Amino acid sequence: MSPALTIALCLAMPVVGALLVALTGKKPNVREAMTGLASLATIALVTTLVGPVLAGEQPEWVVVEAMLPGVPLAFRVEPLGMLYALVAAGLWPVTSAYAVGYMRGHHETNQTRFFICFALSIFAALGIAFAANLGTLFLFYEVLTLCTYPLVTHHQNAEAKHSGRVYLGILMGTSVGLLLLAIAWTYAKAGTLDFRSGGILAGHIDPAVLPLLLGLFAYGCGKAALMPLHRWLPNAMVAPTPVSALLHAVAVVKAGVFSILKIVVYVFGLDLLADTGASEWLMWVACFTLIVASLIAFRQDNLKARLAYSTIAQLAYIVLGAALVTPEGIVGGGLHIATHAVGKITLFFCAGAILVAAHKKNVSELDGLGRTMPLTMGAFFVASLSIIGVPPLGGSWSKWYLALGAADGHTIFVAALMVSSLLNIGYLIPIPIRAFFFPAKDDHHHDDHEPGAGCIGGEGPLRGEVRWLCVVPLCLTAAGCVALFFLAHWVVRLIAPVVRVAG
């Protein structure tokens, strides 16, 4: 199979899956089987590209020679894109299985529309991952926003519609108002929008305006949720939990930070930013975001809201890695895309399982829950340790590389990373402590605010656990947090050529 055909099939498979889901929507078992098969086929196809990329190749597919003058609609699989594609495609099957259990257990409506939009979101994420130039990236970046909007507004109540307006307003406003302007400015100066090793701007733009252009790109990628353009993310927590998992781990926020990382490496180039110091302001913004978001997370009693602000802080780690423009910073940022994805998706899976089985949404209500939901709360504990950066869990390696990158002349940011990790402990670890060691509250009240609050959670492998379609995925992703500790060198090996060539 030619590289171009493989890329085409990777992008086509989620679309085919969405069509099959639409055609079989009246038969839930068949519909969900189509989702599962499409997700498995997609990850199988994506993994076939890993070998060529590790061998130093960059498979390419040019669809249209001139989408705009000198800007083709084209895809090229380079190491950073390969990593993001593996994260998006690799987590789709497990998220699909979890979504089936959650959507049925919570008696959600419009499930066919949900699975269609989910598949199309993976299509958009893969388009972003494989984009060969800024034009192609922008196109799929917008498609991702539009495909996820119906997921955010899934419940169609007043709260969901308001959150959807915030979501669409901020993400479309930043991309059209800032990102598109940055792309046009880049094209005017460099004469190309291609992603090239070493960047395309050196010698074509006045170094004095580089910080401004970088700012347009950083805030134009609104999905990265840099403060103060972060409000869409907590607002989007009104969506069903599988959507929260998609937003925080599989596709949306990772599309934002991945785009910033890729633009820093292939548009600006590490040498240009390092020599001019143009990215120093972005280090401070990322540092501010990761500390302040962590502090806000402390104040959130709602579990999903606490996890949302945690995500904002963790995304800032990746932006900081990009802004450091050191080889270790880029590797740490890329590695954190993978380790945070697996850890955070586990936490959201657990939050959804708790809602379906125990009808609880607030941290203050979780006392004693670990004795009735030991698998769920055990997985939550493991994922929390990975987010914090405790060995032997994957998050420890990404934070190690980020600290190494910051230590090269930016020791204050090493301190910020350490403080942030302490804050992570403060807002995450009390949750499993309450669940396992506090006495259960004598509370028989169920929150009936969301549909499905009356369902019973005793259908899982243990009494009190949610149904197995939810429990197995969260156990698998928790195991993935451990596996990434021992497999991190493969991720580093994949993305290391980026800094060897571009740095």
Helix/strand/coil (H, E, C) string of 49-98?
CHHHHHCCCCCEEEEEEEEECCEEEEEECCHHHHHHHHHHHHHHHHHHHH
Q: Which two tokens stand for residue 6?
A: 């493989």
What mean pLDDT, rounded, does the chain reach?
89
Which element (helix H / strand E) includes 16? helix 3-23
pLDDT digits (tens, 9 = 90+) for 291-315: 999 999 999 999 999 999 999 999 9
Look-up of token digits 């249209």 = 64
Looking at residue 151, its pLDDT comes to: 87
pLDDT digits (tens, 9 = 90+) for 212-260: 999 999 999 999 999 998 888 888 777 777 777 776 677 888 999 999 9
Task: Say if residue 398's pLDDT is above 70.
Answer: yes
Distance CA 33, CA 17 (A): 10
The lowest-confidence range among 150-154, 286-290, 495-499 is 150-154
pLDDT band at 458 (very low <50, low <70, confident <90, very high): very low
Looking at residue 325, its pLDDT comes to: 93
pLDDT digits (tens, 9 = 90+) for 65-106: 877 788 899 999 999 999 999 999 999 999 999 988 888 776
Looking at residue 454, its pLDDT comes to: 32
Distance CA 226, CA 76 (A): 28
Task: Say if residue 438's pLDDT is above 80.
Answer: yes
pLDDT band at 57 (very low <50, low <70, confident <90, very high): very high
Distance CA 422, CA 313 (A): 13
pLDDT band at 442 (very low <50, low <70, confident <90, very high): low
pLDDT band at 331 (very low <50, low <70, confident <90, very high): very high
Looking at residue 501, its pLDDT comes to: 47
The answer to whether 405 and 328 have CB atoms below 8 angstroms apart is yes
172 Cβ contact partners less than 8 Å away, ≥ 6 residues apart: 142, 145
Looking at residue 243, its pLDDT comes to: 74
The answer to whether 215 and 260 have CB atoms below 8 angstroms apart is no
Looking at residue 300, its pLDDT comes to: 93
Report yes or no on whether pTM surpasses 0.75: yes
Q: Which two tokens stand for residue 173?
A: 């406003």
269 Cβ contact partners less than 8 Å away, ≥ 6 residues apart: 198, 199, 200, 201, 202, 502
Pairing of β 60-68 and β 71-76: antiparallel
Of the two residues 366 and 246, the one the predictor is more confident about is: 366
pLDDT digits (tens, 9 = 90+) for 463-498: 578 778 889 999 999 999 999 999 999 999 999 999
Reading phi first (left if > 0) and then psi (alpha if -120 to 50, else beta), residue 199 is in left
Q: Which two tokens stand for residue 466?
A: 């949610």
Task: Say if residue 135's pLDDT is above 50.
Answer: yes
Which element (helix H / strand E) includes 275? helix 270-276
Domain borders along the chain are 3-502
Task: Say if residue 376's pLDDT is above 70.
Answer: yes
The answer to whether 352 and 242 have CB atoms below 8 angstroms apart is yes
173 Cβ contact partners less than 8 Å away, ≥ 6 residues apart: 222
